[in-house]
Every structure is written in structure tokens, then in C-alpha cells.
Structure 1
Amino acid sequence: MGIFDFFKNQFIEVIEWTDNTSDTLVYRFPVANNEIKMGASLIVRESQMAVFVNEGEVADIFGPGHHELYTRNIPILTKLKSWPQGFNSPFKAEVYFVNTKQFVNQKWGTSNPIMMRDAEFGMIRLRGYGVYSYRVSDPGVFLKELFGTNETYTTDNIESHLKKMIISGLSDLFAESKIPALDLASHYDELSELGKQKMEPHFKAFGFAITSLYIENLSLPAEVEKAMDTRTSMGVIGNMGQFQQYQAGQALREAAQNESGGLAGAGAGLGAGAALGGMMTGAMQNNVQQHQAQTMACPNCSAQMPVGAKFCPECGKSPQPATKSCVSCQATIPATTKFCPECGTNQEQKKCPKCQHVNAPTAKFCADCGETLA
């Protein structure tokens, strides 16, 4: 190989990068000991951007497409090098290919529980996990703030920091939302969208754009979940007194079916009798209480009368006091009330029969339409 071939091999004529990985954010084109020939081809594929760096300073940035490198096409680098117009000699510069595709299915999760205050359960510990996606939106900011001059930069280099930012932001979001622990599962979509909006400025500071954030699960401590299960069971049972009577009846039936004799049988019989007596006593007390709850004293003659009756069977008077509607808010109030307990309006005010405007008690004409008032 002659001296001409040696120098020819030192000139790079095609600059491109074919990404065969799934996690590379930045790749530095190997131009060490090589010079880029003026007129060389720069091939930037979709989801890529090429950044020229001169002596540690970001010079020119190229988007997707085919570019021929001349002084007129790299104005910043030309200015930094102070090349004369039209000077076509080779030049040296570091070339970085930045991957701008979305990096999806990036996982986040709480390594330690999030402490938050719940109105129903008090202080609780909350754990959660989910996924997020992001991409490089500003290669210049990304290179200045994070990448530096490494040969490659992958998602593993920044993953831990991004996770900590997300968990910190979501912890603050959960505390501010004041959503009850029982209702968190029904607000995953809303919390995910609010979390994405909250993280956008933090990602932008590093040249990133967060494209999605999803909450997959929020879990409570085992003791809180057990309390929730107990409350659900009580809701399914309904009337606790009837449930206890049912359990006592089942116990009596099992005792009656016990075929063991002797003292044990006698003890079972005595226990069953005591349980039956207690159950009957409780049932009678419940009936008396229910009967008492279904009657009320007449406010006029104090005689007992059914709840909801319109007239007393003894004195024939209505137990309900006379009512009227508030002149302002139309709430139902006692007829003798001077001021509405709902809105505080003076009930002696006069309402115009034509425009319904409320006037002062002494007004003779409507202040709104001039109608004569009674």
C-alpha cells in the first residue's frame, strides 16, 4: 500500500450508525485518528440525530436524512474552525448519534413504602409499581447535562435516577390528592395522567420528554387489606342481629343432632336450652324495641300514635307543624320562622308576583319591575 492509499484510508467518506441494540441512547462514531473528508456523506436514519462536537462544544446538529458535509452545511463548526469560504480540506470533529426513539416499558416501583394519611384508616403505608416511556427530545441539552464524552450511553446509566424522580413526584401527588385508600383503584388513569404532567419539567431539564406513565398497582399493608375484607363481609351480612340469631339456631340444631349420651349429653341439652332461652329473650326484646320505634308521642296530647300518621287518633290534630317555603331559596321551613335556617333570608320580605324579585318588608312597589305589592 502506497503513501497515497494510507492517507486515503485516513479520510472518512460515509458516517452512519445502525443500531442493533434496544437500550442505547448515544453512540460515538469512531473517528479517533481519522479525519472526515469534505463532501463526505452523513446518513441519519429515522429516530436518530447526529451531533457534531468540536473540542467539547456542541457545534452542529443534523436530523434524519442524507447530508453532504461542506463548509456551507456545517456553519457553526466552520465558524469555530475559522475555515475560509470554500475550503474543502478534511476536518476533525467528534460525531455522536443520539437515539430519539421511545424507550418503552421502563419499570418503576417503590423500594420503600410511601407514608400517607387516610381519613378513614389514619396513617397507612402505600406501595406501588408501574411503567413509563421516554425519549430524547433535545440532544444538545442531553449531551451537556448527562452524556459528556463517553463512547456509548444506555438506559441503564440513567434508569435509577429517573425512577427516583418518578417515585418522589408520585409520593407528593398521592399525598396531595387526598383520595381515600378504598377509592385509589378507581383513580389509576387520573393519577397516571397527573403524574405524567408533574414529571414533564423534570425530564425536560435533562433533554428528555416523558411520553407515558402508568400506575399498574397500588397496594396497602396486609392489616389494612384485612380490615377492608372484614368491612366488606359485614356489608354482605347486612343485619347483624339476624345473623347472630341464625348462628344460634344452627348451633341448636347441631346440638340436637349430637347422639352422645350420659353427662356430656345432659350438658349439651342444658347448653342448648340456655341458648334457646337467650335467643327467645333476645327476639322478644327486639320485637318490643321495634314496636316502640314504630310509634311516637303526639305533640299535642302526648298519646302514642303510629310514626308517619298525619292525624292523631286521640285528638285529631296533625302532629306536623305548619310549614311554608322560603321566599328566597324555596326551602321548606316552619310557618312561624322569621329567618330561613338555610339561607338566612328575612321571611317578612315581599316577593313580586310578576318578576319574583324579593323586596323589603315595607316596600309598596317592586324595586325591579315596579309592580304594585300587596
Structure 2
Amino acid sequence: MGIFDKIREKLSNEFIDIIEWLDYTPDTICYRFERYQNEIKNNAKLIVREGQTAVFINEGKMADVFAPGTYTLSTQNLPILATLQGWKYGFNSPFKAEVYFVNTHLFTDEKWGTKNPITLNDDRFGLIELRAFGTYAYRIKDAGKFIVDIVGTDNNFTNFEINEHLKSLIATRFTDTVGEAKLPIELYAANTNELSETCMQVMQPDFLSVGISLEKFFIENVSMPEDLKKEIFEYSRIEKVDLDKLTKFKTAKAIEAAAANEGGTAGAGMGMGMGFAMAQQMGTMMNPQTGQQQTAQAHTMPPPVPQTVQYFYAANGQQAGPVSFGELQTLFAGRTVNKDTLVWKAGLAEWVPLQQVDELKPFLGGSTPPPLPQ
């Protein structure tokens, strides 16, 4: 082979070029293939691997887009670029164009959250505040649109650069969706799957408008203030509980608590009265119709039998009783109590001497009874 043949072969080899993208990190979305003055040799080989899309840009305008595969660059597979540069009979080497490789694999486990609480107006609880966070996944669906609208002239566009924009978009659309849903407040945390699907449908058009496809969207948690959460739990229990069983349970607890207090039988009587009063009040509030029926029955039924008055008395500095009127009279006759003994009954504000209670004054009888025989 002569010297001119070697020179011709060497020059021919220089005209053959390989365009490919190998070195990239998982966070790289778009990479501009660097060439000296953006020159590409005639019949250069373009290699686009799986998970990539190659986009040719001519003077700021999108030209040809290549899916995964191997291509020999000519006017046949660069029709748009050939039209833009006016190549009627083929092009001479070299030609100028910018080549961008776009990573089209799925970007997963991206975090999102509401920076500020979302204020909602609930019919039962008034103004409330919610916070939410979760994850989402996306991929580049339209590489050309993504480069024109988002990347621009950036030669190494990463996930970090687009993530803040996407998180702001998600937070805005999530707030709008939650506000328009008007769900009962207790259902937000219990229906995260349904709410996630609805939010994804609402957000998808905004993502597609810049060439991105929202593949997955998850709401991991919807939180609210602790005091509101407790109030909601109590409200839900009242709605679902058997009111008859609840009143019986509350009454039993009240009697048990009263019996444990000082005063023995007196405490139990007072606790029982409070328990029945509370049960009747709750039943009337939760079922007004039942309360009306009870009122009607009160006018047709005879009044209850009068209760026997019970008395308590002080003996050796200790509370004793309760005893009936007759029992207290027997105690007076046996000198266990006397006219100065402190007594108390329902209706008295404080303990008083026996001689100051009107219905007990007949005990005095005008004379002191004789002492018992020895």
C-alpha cells in the first residue's frame, strides 16, 4: 500500500465517528453529547441503548428523535435535520447538530410533602389543618418536549434540578384535590389509596405538558393535630356504639367509683343517682323521640312511691347510718343519740343538731326519758 493510500485510509477513518452515552449516574436525566464545535462526521454511527432516547437539535430547534438501536447517520434517517439544513443531495462531512441523550428509565421513590398545613373547613369540626407526605415515580415520555421546555441548553440535567419543580406541582394539586373532595375529615387517613388514585389523575396532565409521565403516586400519611384526632375518635365511637349498652356501662362505672369513695352506702346512693341521671340525659340527647315518649308516659302513669328519708348521725367523731326515722327514734330512746347529736339528711346544707330538725323534735317530748333499768 502506497503512502497516498495510507493517507486516504486515515482520513476515511477520521470521518467515521461513534456517538453514544455510557458514563452517567442514576440521577442524570439528560446529557448533551460533546463534540468539537458540534461537528458530526458523515456516516457516523449512533448507538442508543435501552432506557435512552437520542434527540438532535439544530440551531435551537428540535429535529430528529431516535429510539433504542444502532443507526448510520445519513439524510435517509435524518429527514427533519436534512430539511432544516437544506440538504437536497446529501450532506458533506462534517455537519453540525447538538445531540442530547435522555434517560427514560423509571425514577422511583421520589419524596413529596406539604411544606405548610392545609386548612380545610369541616361541617362538624370547623377549620382544621392537615399535613401529608408520600412518594411518587415518573419517567420521561416525550424526550423532545422535555428538552425544549425544561432542559434548554443545560449540558448535564439531573433529577435534582426537576425534583423541586415537581414537588411544588404535587403539593399545589394535592391541596386543590383535597379541598374539592369535601370528604369527612376522618376518611382522609382511612382512604389514602382512593385519594392517591384521584390525585394522580388530576396531576397527570400537568406532567405530560412538559414531556413527563407520572407513573405512580402514593400518599403514605395524612396527619392532623392530636387534640383533633382524639375528638374525631370520640365522635366516631359515639356514632357507632350501642347507646343502651353505653349508658349501662357508664352507670355501672359510676356506681363502682362512688362505692370506692368515703361514705360507704351514702356514696353508693349518690353515685347511683348521678349514673341514672347521666344515662337518662344521654339517652334523651341522642334519641329525642324516646325522650318525648317518656314525657308523655309521665303524664299518664301514677307518681312513684315516696322514698323513706334516711338519716346519718355522728357517733364518737365518726359518721354512722343511714337509718330510718323509726331507727333513729330507737337510738334516741336508748341514749345512743341525744338532742345535741349532729345529724344530716338529703336536702340539708350541713350537719345540724338533732333538736333543730323539725320532724325530729317530737323525740324530745317535753321531758327527758328515764334511764334504762340496770
Q: Which TM-score applies when normalising by structure 1?
A: 0.67
Q: Which ranges in structure 2 are unaligned for 5 or more consecutive residues?
A: 1-5, 284-290, 303-374
Q: Is 1:239 aligned to 2:246, yes or no?
A: yes
Q: Is 1:22 aligned to 2:22, yes or no?
A: no
Q: Secondary structure of 1:21's match?
A: coil
Most deviating of 101-110 and 72-81? 72-81
Alignment length, in residue pairs? 286
Kept after mapping to 1: 8 A contact 2:16/2:43: no
2:52 to 48, 53, 76: 48
Displacement of 1:249 in angstroms is 2.3
Q: Is 1:163 aligned to 2:188, yes or no?
A: no
CA shift digits 1:15-48 (9 cap, x unpaired): 1112541111101111134632211110111221
Matched residue, 1:204: 208
CA shift digits 1:37-76 (9 cap, x unpaired): 2111101112211111112221111111111101222112
Matched residue, 2:259: 252
Displacement of 1:222 in angstroms is 1.7
Amino acid at match of 2:174: L
Cα distance in structure 1, aligned partners of 2:280 and 2:140 = 76
Amino acid at match of 1:277: G
Query: Over aligned residue pairs, what C-alpha RMSD do you find?
Result: 3.4
Displacement of 1:282 in angstroms is 4.7
Q: Which has the larger radius of gyration?
A: 2
Kept after mapping to 2: 8 A contact 1:11/1:35: no
In the superposition, relative to structure 1, how do residues 77 and 229 fare at CA in structure 2: closer, same or farther (>3 Å)? same
Q: Secondary structure of 1:226's match?
A: helix
Q: Is 1:174 aligned to 2:194, yes or no?
A: no
In the superposition, relative to structure 1, how do residues 273 and 73 fare at CA in structure 2: closer, same or farther (>3 Å)? same
Cα distance in structure 2, aligned partners of 1:61 and 1:239 = 70
Q: Secondary structure of 2:135's match?
A: strand
Most deviating of 33-42 and 239-248? 239-248
Kept after mapping to 2: 8 A contact 1:38/1:91: yes
Q: Secondary structure of 2:222's match?
A: strand
Q: Secondary structure of 2:26's match?
A: coil
Kept after mapping to 1: 8 A contact 2:112/2:170: yes
Matched residue, 1:276: 268
Q: Is 1:61 aligned to 2:51, yes or no?
A: no
Q: Is 1:117 aligned to 2:117, yes or no?
A: no
CA shift digits 1:171-215 (9 cap, x unpaired): 111111111111122321221111111111111121111111111
Cα distance in structure 1, aligned partners of 2:295 and 2:216 = 62
Percent of aligned pairs with the same amino acid: 41
Cα distance in structure 2, aligned partners of 1:81 and 1:96 = 18
Matched residue, 2:343: none
Displacement of 1:77 in angstroms is 1.5
Amino acid at match of 2:267: A
Amino acid at match of 1:89: S
Q: Which ranges in structure 1 are unaligned for 5 or more consecutive residues?
A: 256-267, 306-374
Within-5 A mapping of 1:294-333: none
In the superposition, relative to structure 1, how do residues 247 and 282 fare at CA in structure 2: closer, same or farther (>3 Å)? closer
